[in-house]
Structures are given as structure tokens and as C-alpha cells.
Structure 1
Amino acid sequence: MPNSNEDVLDAIFKIADAVDYEVGADNIVTIRKKQDHPIQRFFRKLAFRIPEYTRRSLDEYGSYVFLQIDGRRTVREIGENLEEKYGEQAQPLYERLLLYLKHLNVNCRYIEKTTSD
């Protein structure tokens, strides 16, 4: 069975190479996305105040998960770490974790799946 629960929990993700992020003193991750569209550059030349980067800060839970993604840890290991840190607050553990990882992977493209072999 290619998509069994065990396969999903053994999946390994890494942070995508193109993702620019910073970690604050409070361990909150802020994703930086460069605003480098030609129209934006044009308006900057006209002295419009368009920031070079947009910033999106993750919440405490999201930051913790994001920092666990290192290209070596499985989804199961990340889940175990979450449960150890947050206990009952992390429940339902894998349903929330898998949904969040899917969002980071498919919608945001902040992470990508690696081969686990």
C-alpha cells in the first residue's frame, strides 16, 4: 500500500531552498518573501514606499513545527516532539500536524518532501 498511515508518518520533509526565513529571540519564525516584480521595482524608482520584503510570522506552534523540519526527522518524530512539548494542547496530534505540513508544502511551498530511502 503506497499511502498507508505508516508511509505518511515515515515521510521526511526539508525546508525548501528558496525559502528565506529568520528566527527571533522568542523562537518565532518569520518567513521573508522578496517583492521583486517589475512593477514593484518601477514604483520604487518613483519613490513609492514599497518594502523589498513581505514578512509572515508563524505562531508558536507553527514555528516549533517549522524548526523541527530538517530533512532528517520523520513526521512521526516531529509529532512525538510536539506531544512532549505541548502535551494535551497538541491533540489531535497527527491530524493537525499532517494538515499543517500539507499547507506548508502545497499552498505555501515552504517545505518539500525528501526521499526517505
Structure 2
Amino acid sequence: MAKEKYNSNLLDYIPVHAVEWEYRDDGTIFLKVPKSKNRLALKIIRLMRRSLDTNIQLDDFGSYVWKQCDGIQNVQQIGEKLKSEFGSTVEPVFDRLGTFIKILSHQKLITYQNIN
């Protein structure tokens, strides 16, 4: 079933955030990813007085893409904006963006809206 998801054109997908995130003053984005969904594991983590979340810091390109995943723009539009913002430093833009979006989806950090 997951493989069928990518049979259509990824550029037409509209990515939406699926985890909490934080915007820092330096312009970077931190994703707050739960360490576990298992209730027993969460109890153990709490007993150890550890954070229930893992923070993932995105680089400049990743932060820019994350901010564009607003549930309105599709991957094609995000790629065009990424290219106009960063120029040739992101080339090949759609290969890199496609890989990044697939990783975010596989890790359940984003979902897609209006997949036909």
C-alpha cells in the first residue's frame, strides 16, 4: 500500500505538517518528534526524567521547505520557490526535494492532503 502512494506524481502532492515544530530566532526549524508511542516506553522515559520528544534541527534548505509545507502549495510550487530563493545551490532541485519530502513522509513527519 505504501508503494502505491508514490505511483502518482509526487510533484502534485500537497504536504502538511504532522508533528509539532518550533521556529528559532536564527531562522532554523526544530521538529519535535515523539520518542515512542508505546505507553510502557513513555512511562519509563518519564521515570528517567527524560524528554518525551526528540528535537530534529533542519538546515537552511530543510527549514525553508518545512515552512512551505502549509497544506496549500504542492511539491512543484515548493520546488520552484526553493529554486528562486537559493538559486543553483539547490540543483538538482526536484531530485533533492523529492528525496527530502519522501523521507519526511516515511518518518511520518508530514502527511499529504488531497491525494487522488
Specify the TM-score bucket, using the shorter chain as the normaliser. 0.7 to 0.9
Unaligned stretches of 5+ residues in structure 1: 45-49
Consecutive aligned runs of 4 or more in structure 1 exceeding 6 Å deviation: none
1:53 is aligned with what amino acid? D
In structure 1, the partner of 2:47 is 42
Q: CA RMSD in A?
A: 2.0
Shift of 1:33: 3.0
Give the whole-Å Cα distance in 2 for the aligned partners of 1:80 and 1:33.
Answer: 28
In structure 1, the partner of 2:11 is 9
Q: Percent identity?
A: 32
Q: Deviations over 1:10-54 (max 9, x none)?
A: 1111111xx11100122210012345711112223xxxxx23433
Larger radius of gyration: 1
Alignment of 1:1-117 (within 5 A): 3=7, 7-16=9-18, 19-34=19-34, 37-44=42-49, 50-106=50-106, 108-115=107-114
SS at match of 1:70: coil
Give the whole-Å Cα distance in 2 for the aligned partners of 1:62 and 1:43.
Answer: 32
TM-score normalised by the chain length of structure 2: 0.81
Say how many residue pairs are matched: 106
Unaligned stretches of 5+ residues in structure 2: 1-5, 36-40
1:33 is aligned with what amino acid? V
